[in-house]
Amino acid sequence: MRFHHMNGAGNDFVVMDVRGLELDFSRLAMELCKLTGADGFLAVDKSDTADFRLHFYNPDGNRGEMCGNGARCVCRYAYELGLAGEEMVVQTDAGPVTGKRISESIYRIGLNLPSVVDLHRLPNAAYIELGQPGCPHSITEVPGLRWEMREELREMAKNLRYHPAFPKGTNVNLYTWVDADTVRILTYERYVEDYTLACGTGSASTAVTLWSQGKLPGGVLTVQNPGGDLKITIRSHGNAITALLLEGPTEITKIIEY
């Protein structure tokens, strides 16, 4: 079997074409993520409703609802393998996701719209779910946050990850403002059980929170992740979000025979 090792702003994945194959995705995810140290496993399959279907699995073998940076990587994979054109639709567990090739390395997706926006789930944390069933994220401001504060903030992140206020568990996003249109973020991911270099749905959930609080009137947010910058664009009509776009870099790190 051949797989690609890819990353989107440092968020790295094992990507495989599994069309026509019957495989134990959970087992493969654990084996291949252990082999490469990847944050997740992306299986590209046939779809009757889209250009292709994305099966997303975490390193521990748990299936995930969706992955923003993973979807961007898999759009590049599909384009370069000739499975789709420069614009495509991806079937995911959280609903259909649109993808677009902006340049050789930059890809943009239209994320699933928020199905839950609870700005007061905890005194120090908002709660956002993107899609249906939703990908869960908690959002907490940590003024002056620096990426070097990972260990200092680890206990807080783990406590939020397993807090009973989040019945599905949650991905934990900690942020601080850099300027009026930019935040710096650290994400502690559910099932990875550690910080990752970037999180697309986490960056988008942070933007949704800030927009819903009236703090992002322009609807465009640059999110500085440790692995690279992501751009979130919110389009709206009145108080309703009509589009949630995630844009950023992708890279094919290597191709491996397994």
Which residues are annotated as catalytic?
A: 67, 199
Taking alpha carbons only, the member of 37, 6, 9, 72 closest to residue 198 is 9
Residue ranges of E strands in 180-239: 182-189, 194-196, 220-225, 228-237
Question: Are the C-beta atoms of 246 and 230 separated by less than 8 Å?
Answer: yes
Q: How far apart are CA 30 and CA 34, in angstroms?
A: 6
3-class DSSP state for residue 28?
A: helix
For residue 133, whether the previous peptide bond is cis, meaning omega lies within 30 degrees of 0, is yes
Question: Are the C-beta atoms of 54 and 17 separated by less than 8 Å?
Answer: no
Question: Are the C-beta atoms of 206 and 112 separated by less than 8 Å?
Answer: no
Q: How far apart are CA 170 and CA 156, in angstroms?
A: 13
Question: Are the C-beta atoms of 19 and 46 separated by less than 8 Å?
Answer: yes
For 250, the token pair is 């992708």
Residue ranges of E strands in the chain: 2-8, 11-17, 40-45, 52-57, 87-92, 95-101, 106-110, 114-122, 125-130, 135-141, 171-179, 182-189, 194-196, 220-225, 228-237, 240-249, 251-257
